[in-house]
Structure 1
Amino acid sequence: MRNYILVLSLFFFGFLQAQELKCTVNFNTEQVAATNQQVFKTLQKSLTEFLNNTKWSDKTYRGIEKIECSFFFNILTFDNVNQFTGTLQVQASRPIYNSTYNSPILNINDKDISFVYNEFQSLNYDPNNFDNNLVSILAFYANLIVGVDADTFSSEGGTKSLETASNIVVQAQQSQDKGWLSTGNQNRFYLVNDMLSPAYSAFRKAMFEYHFEALDRMSDDQRKGKEGVKKALKTLLEIANVRPNAYLTRIFFDAKTDEIVSIFTDGPKVDVTDLLITLNKLSPTNTSKWSQISY
């Protein structure tokens, strides 16, 4: 038992002390098919190197501990002054202890992507200064990924990275790009602002309970792990009870819906009566998927 605890501790200590991105970048350019595609190949290479080679935190990184993530740009327009517009799908996952499974932790579709890029231009990151919109978007999501990942291993362990992401928002607001502004209720500003707000603290608490206290225990006791997932979802219910349809609740289920269905349709049975009530209250748009979970 002591050896098991030691191995478990070393495993998680390693992840807490060593985090970095293992990121893939892809572009869909069908809407601008007539454009010279070479600029997108150059841009893809540049963004991949920027995301994977930049040091995003003060922790020590090792290869096996990098956070797997992807940035998928859907380019809608590209004009003769090198102005790009489109959308960006950001996804990230983290490994589950004693398994080959990676659990999704983020799946965000940012519909307000706009930037200027001149082929071969350098990308310079300074968290305290705004250089250009492209660098700020990349840096924002890189820090968000590191912060959310850290939250899944340690209670509010990602605070520093989330604060860096928040500072990037503040610096980037001078661009007047609507993704950075406190207008609407579902953009980069609100994403990190809500994560750091005490009013939504249940989101980060639930992320820790769901991953570290539930999924990471599945290999030892699958039934107990499932009960841990149920507990985490009840924690998330604290947000829905006060703010139904909150942005962070949607962010959670954009990443977790299919995984939750899989967890409760496989392995040892647990009572799901209260679970289904919780899920239908938290995410009523996924009622058809929740109906796949059997009693």
Structure 2
Amino acid sequence: MLRKILAALPMFALLLAGPAAQAQELMAEVRVSTENVTISDPTIVTQMQNDIRNLLNTRAWTNQAYRPEERIKVKMFIGITAIPQNGTYNCTMRLISTRPVYGTGYDTNVVSLSDRSFNFNYSPQNPLDFSPNSFVSNLSSLIGYYAYLVIGLDRDTFSRLGGTPYYEQARTIVSYSANQTQTNEADEGWRGTGSRERHWLLDNITDPQLEAFRTGLYDYYRQGMDVFIEKPEQARASVMTALTGVQKAALTRPGTLFARAFFDAKSDEIANIFRTSQDQSQKQQLVSMLTEVDPTNSAKYQTVLK
């Protein structure tokens, strides 16, 4: 698998490329919902959905070529909540990315993220485009930011801290989007003025004090899930190492967005991994640890002991 081979390459080989490269890293499904608004022309929503999907799927976000079966699966659900004026859309967004587990037909969630201020201007007459170094539109910035975030997280699961160059590109997007003054698309989500903005999510992921989040991704997926079929006990030990690191980071900085995103994506799977374990002390340790760091899902973790 290409991503496994790339895990061994030095960091300079992962530098970002320009639009001419043919990587096509993502395989995204995009759904735009209009349940909460009245749309006079539904074809606009259909084109919006297609334009977003096409930008995610056809643009080369990196310089690494992925085979079709290696592309990162992404589901993006956009719900339009209001249309303050013609061409302006206030939305919420939910994003889920997955990766395959080696030797199986199983796809495992990597991250589940929500953005409650996914707001942008859109006109079907204007092609949706993206620039890595300058502001084009808020919608293209949003798409680029989440594309690089997904790619970075995926790389972290295949090589320890392998997502660094993609987070750096996401940070560039945050910077120029927060500081742009050329349009009427000012978006506080780029500025870090609240606790749940994109600015803070990226800071959570790249904060050296919270590095255990990222190293935990490698332990969980590459050292855990990918060897589970052949070595289940070794895999559980690696997953425990990952979760211990996540716990430490989450307690260092309570309420971090990345911890919430991680457990939103993984709580069911974690319970399933350990439910069949014969090591009762390991189960007790797991439930005690996760009940502290993720009390929202404590009922799921309690089922591990039954």
Global fold match (TM > 0.5): yes
Q: Residues of 1 paired with 2:7 and 2:73: CA distance?
A: 13
CA contact (8 A) 2:277 2:283 kept: no
CA-to-partner distance for each residue in 1:122-164, whole Å, 9 max, x for gaps?
Answer: 1121111011100000000000000000000000111001110
CA contact (8 A) 2:24 2:58 kept: no
- Within the candidate set 207, 221, 225, 1:215 is matched to 225
Residue 286 of structure 2 corresponds to residue 294 of structure 1: no
Q: How do residues 1-295 of structure 1 correspond to structure 2 at under 5 angstroms?
A: 12-13=4-5, 20-174=25-179, 175-265=185-275, 267-270=276-279, 271-294=282-305
With 101-110 and 281-290 compared, the bigger mean Cα shift is at: 281-290
Match of residue 17 from structure 2: none
Aligned pair in 2 of structure 1 residues 12, 194: CA closer, same or farther (>3 Å)? same
Q: Residues of 1 paired with 2:158 and 2:7: CA distance?
A: 8
Aligned pair in 2 of structure 1 residues 147, 121: CA closer, same or farther (>3 Å)? same
Q: Residues of 1 paired with 2:195 and 2:43: CA distance?
A: 36
Residue 57 of structure 1 and its aligned partner are, at CA, apart by 0.9
Q: Residues of 1 paired with 2:140 and 2:92: CA distance?
A: 15
Residue 79 of structure 1 and its aligned partner are, at CA, apart by 4.2
Q: Residues of 2 paired with 1:11 and 1:128: CA distance?
A: 26
With 84-93 and 229-238 compared, the bigger mean Cα shift is at: 229-238
Amino acid at match of 1:163: E
Aligned pair in 2 of structure 1 residues 114, 154: CA closer, same or farther (>3 Å)? same
Residue 81 of structure 1 and its aligned partner are, at CA, apart by 2.2
Amino acid at match of 1:228: S
Q: Residues of 1 paired with 2:8 and 2:108: CA distance?
A: 17
Q: Residues of 2 paired with 1:281 and 1:268: CA distance?
A: 21
Aligned pair in 2 of structure 1 residues 10, 92: CA closer, same or farther (>3 Å)? closer
**Identity of aligned pairs, percent?**
30
Match of residue 6 from structure 1: none
Q: Residues of 1 paired with 2:41 and 2:152: CA distance?
A: 37
Identify unmatched segments of 5+ residues in structure 2.
10-22, 180-184
With 30-39 and 161-170 compared, the bigger mean Cα shift is at: 30-39
Match of residue 12 from structure 2: none
Aligned pair in 2 of structure 1 residues 11, 201: CA closer, same or farther (>3 Å)? closer
Aligned pair in 2 of structure 1 residues 11, 72: CA closer, same or farther (>3 Å)? closer
Q: Residues of 2 paired with 1:228 and 1:130: CA distance?
A: 41
Secondary structure of the corresponding residue to residue 304 of structure 2: coil
With 126-135 and 72-81 compared, the bigger mean Cα shift is at: 72-81
Amino acid at match of 1:112: S
Aligned pair in 2 of structure 1 residues 16, 34: CA closer, same or farther (>3 Å)? farther
CA-to-partner distance for each residue in 1:173-208, whole Å, 9 max, x for gaps?
Answer: 035312111111211101112211102111001111
Amino acid at match of 1:219: I
Q: Residues of 1 paired with 2:2 and 2:94: CA distance?
A: 33
Q: Residues of 2 paired with 1:108 and 1:248: CA distance?
A: 9
Identify unmatched segments of 5+ residues in structure 1.
1-8
Secondary structure of the corresponding residue to residue 236 of structure 2: helix
RMSD, aligned α-carbons? 1.8
Residue 229 of structure 1 and its aligned partner are, at CA, apart by 1.0
Q: Residues of 2 paired with 1:49 and 1:274: CA distance?
A: 45
Q: Residues of 1 paired with 2:125 and 2:53: CA distance?
A: 13
